[in-house]
Structure formats: structure tokens, C-alpha cells
Amino acid sequence: MKKVFKGRVICKGNYEGECVVSRQGLNTLATFQKSALMNKKKVIGSDQNNKDVYGKNLTGIALILPQTIGSTTGGLVIQTICQMGINPAALLFSEEIDSLAASGVILAKNWENSNIIAIDKLGSDILTEIKTGDKIKVSEDGTVEIL
């Protein structure tokens, strides 16, 4: 039987593919800014304090995390990488989405016409049941399943 997680949809969409799992809060500025400032074609995680994402490609994948952390620029950083088209395909939160990440994905969806998916309240089990590199399926109704 496949493991299925059900969360609250913030920005809907469908995705099928690989994921990266961060078991700690994700510092958006430290993780995404370097690639954005250097005008890269993809984001490589640059937060040396987060071994789960450091050095990994985060563009076009599902990023599973508890919450984002860091400075108040977090929402703007998310909007910027979406505007550049180098964002993760989906941000899947085990906990309730924080206000900065929410503002970033909602602005990106509405102002940048981004196809970023955001689902929260998926539960802490998602951080242990799914491993980096696993293939998952995200549905617009807020379900996430391991393939």
C-alpha cells in the first residue's frame, strides 16, 4: 500500500518526480540567494548550515520541509526565484506554512504567473517517510504520495 499524505492547498498544481527533503527549517535567503544573484539557470542549495539541501539542485523538484526560517526577505526571495523560473516545482510543508513563505508563493503565483505548488499541514511523518531522491506524486487536492 502506498503511503499518502493529505495537506492544505495554498497554491494548487500537479507534480510527479523527485524530491529533496530538508528535516530542518529552510533558510530561504541562504539557500536560494546565491544562485539568484549569480543569475544561474538553476538553484543549487547554498546554505552550508543545512546539510539536507546544501549542494543539491532545487530547481524543478519538490522540496519537502517543516517551515522556512530566516530574515524577512524570505517571501521576496521565493518570488524572485519564481520570476527567474529557477524555483522548486513544489514547496511541501510538514507544518503550517509561515507567513513569509506564504506571501512569496502567493505573490509569485499571482504576479509572476508562476506554476509553483505549495501545500502545508502534511504532518511530521512526511519528513521521515520520504527520502531525498524518492519519486512522489503531488495532486492539486493536496495529496502527496510516494511512488
Stated pTM of the model: 0.96
pLDDT of residue 71: 83
pLDDT of residue 60: 98
Domain count, the chain: 1
- What confidence tens digit (pLDDT) does each residue in 44-75 have? 999 999 999 999 999 999 999 999 998 889 99
Please state, in angstroms and rounded to a whole number, the distance separating the CA atoms of residues 130 and 117: 18
- Residue from 123, 82, 114, 120 nearest 98 by CA: 120
Please name the residue that has the C-alpha cell 510543508: 93
Q: What is the CATH number of the domain that holds 75?
A: 3.50.30.10
Kindly state the DSSP code that residue 44 receives in the 8-state scheme.
B
Please state, in angstroms and rounded to a whole number, the distance separating the CA atoms of residues 79 and 3: 31
Burial class (CB in 10 A: 0-12, 13-18, 19+), 6: middle
Structural domain including 103 reads: 4-146
